[in-house]
Structure 1
Amino acid sequence: MSSILLVDDERWVRTALRKVIERSGHPYQVVMECSNGLEALEWLENHAASVVMTDVKMPVMDGIALVQQLRERKQQPEVVMISGYDDFPYLQFALRAQVVDYLLKPVEVDEMSKCLESIQGRLSKAQADALPPAAVDEFEQSPIRQAIHYIHSALPGDITLQEVAAKVHLNPSYLSQLFKQQMKVNFTDYVLEKRMEKAKQLLSQTTLRVSEIAERVGYSDLAYFSNTYKRLTGMTPSEYRKSKSTCL
């Protein structure tokens, strides 16, 4: 049974969509509901869904920003955009982003059925086209890959070398040397880089305050976060957000 992630800021809409999906008769199950794009991305860090059905207009992170982020992922789910607005710019974006369908609220059962049938065809074709791996990638089974998986699952908060070493059953000093040898970067610098990448995403894609973003990426001291961010990017968080908004 294929899985669906519903993203809409109104609970009653999510409930209605869930019922329509169930009544469509297709083998799909709603595995999670989120109220905005940011919640969806954070859930997808540690989970998977075959399909993401998202509203267009939402607080914090809207559907367009969510789709843009999803298109940068290695494993991309099928995406359906759902909106109460039949606006050409939204439709144009959906086409360019290769969204499976653009449904207008309220979504009827027959419309949902046709949409899910189309998705099932795409998923079946993708499975048929996939070639079996010739061999298991040793790196995927290595302690460093396991360490990276753990780091990404624990982000955006701070993660210590000792904590990760315990998870992969290695001596911290040995893990440190192995990490630098294979990743060409120090463990601490790698973690810091990933935390700042998350901060950049939140600054450019959400309306959260800088203090809220600092807390989300593991900094209780706003001044320390701002100084660290400026040291690595050349701009304060506020300056970076302003530069991104100016470009839009």
Structure 2
Amino acid sequence: MKKNILLVDDERWVRTALKWTINKLNLPLHVVHECENGLEALDWIKQNDADLVITDIRMPIMDGLSLVKELSHLKKNQDVIVISVHDEFQFVQQAIRTGVTDYLLKPVEETELKVCLEKWLEMKSQEETKRNTPKDEDENLPFSTIEKVLQYIETTPLDQITLKDAAEFVHMNHSYLSQLFKQQLNKKFVDYITELRIEESKRLLLNTSLRMSEIAERVGYSDLAYFSNNFKRLTGFSPSEFRKSALEKVPQ
């Protein structure tokens, strides 16, 4: 069954190009309507349904961020992908905090659009599977995903682990995975990785003569000061203090 998309952009040629590209991708998607600004989109969606809204950020009358906020109040459960230019990343971050599913940069490349839409379709498929799974199996589904993420973490060098790569490993949107990880492990992904990095750095401090900068780099920190701050926040010691204290306890 095809998913319906609402396109929102004040430039008609952009909407035309997006619609043409979406049709060309041959995915189970249908552009059901187009709007010139956020207010027009909001009025339309109050009376109609769309599974996904793809909207520009900068538009007259009502911009994309205002549209996202208004849509969240409607509680109609449609997802949103925002389109921005490079110098609008602060707006993208704001949009992500308000629940936007993903974002694309202008000019929208066909390959990037395809990857973005395929990820969204995969996320919707997983959500539908979860809804249709019997309760006892349903409870195990998210945990099975997290087990795969932990497998990715265990088999990947600490300096190469990223949330984006973990999400790709389990074929899931990174924002959705972040929420699921926190829900299942009661800990943010970034905090979990930070703890692993600090534990490994403690092992290296105790068992090797590597310099602080070398240890920091091995566990994934290019900035020595940032590594030292994280280390002290979690252990109460700076890396050099930790190594010195451990050496002082070694019998002579």
TM-score, normalised with respect to structure 1? 0.51
Per-residue deviation, 1:89: 1.3
2:91 alignment partner in structure 1: 90
**Alignment of 1:17 onto 2:18:** yes
1:35 alignment partner in structure 2: 36
- The C-alpha deviation readout for 1:39-75, integer Å capped at 9, x for no partner, is 1011111110010000001111000000001112222
Q: Map of 1:1-248 to 2, 5 A cutoff?
A: 1-130=2-131
Per-residue deviation, 1:32: 0.3
- The C-alpha deviation readout for 1:57-104, integer Å capped at 9, x for no partner, is 111100000000111222221110012344231121122123222111
Which one-letter code corresponds to 2:6 in the other structure?
L
- The C-alpha deviation readout for 1:111-138, integer Å capped at 9, x for no partner, is 1111111111121122122269xxxxxx
Identity of aligned pairs, percent? 47
In 1: Cα distance, 2:23 partner to 2:128 partner: 24
Q: Which of structures 1 and 2 has the bigger CA Rg? A: 2
Q: What's the RMSD between the two structures over aligned residues?
A: 1.5
Partners of 1:24 and 1:110 within 8 A in 2: no
Which one-letter code corresponds to 1:113 in the other structure?
K
Partners of 1:36 and 1:62 within 8 A in 2: yes
Q: Greater relative contact order (Cα 8 A, min sep 6): structure 1 or 2?
A: 1
Partners of 1:94 and 1:102 within 8 A in 2: no
* Structure 1 unaligned spans of 5+: 133-248
Which one-letter code corresponds to 1:108 in the other structure?
E
- Distance 1:73-1:129 versus aligned 2 partners, 3 A rule: farther
SS in 2 for 1:71: helix
Partners of 1:86 and 1:104 within 8 A in 2: no
Could you list the runs of 4 or more consecutive aligned residues of structure 1 that deviate by over 6 angstroms after TM superposition? none
- The C-alpha deviation readout for 1:176-221, integer Å capped at 9, x for no partner, is xxxxxxxxxxxxxxxxxxxxxxxxxxxxxxxxxxxxxxxxxxxxxx
In 1: Cα distance, 2:129 partner to 2:39 partner: 32
Number of residues of Structure 1 aligned to a counterpart in Structure 2? 132
* Structure 2 unaligned spans of 5+: 134-252
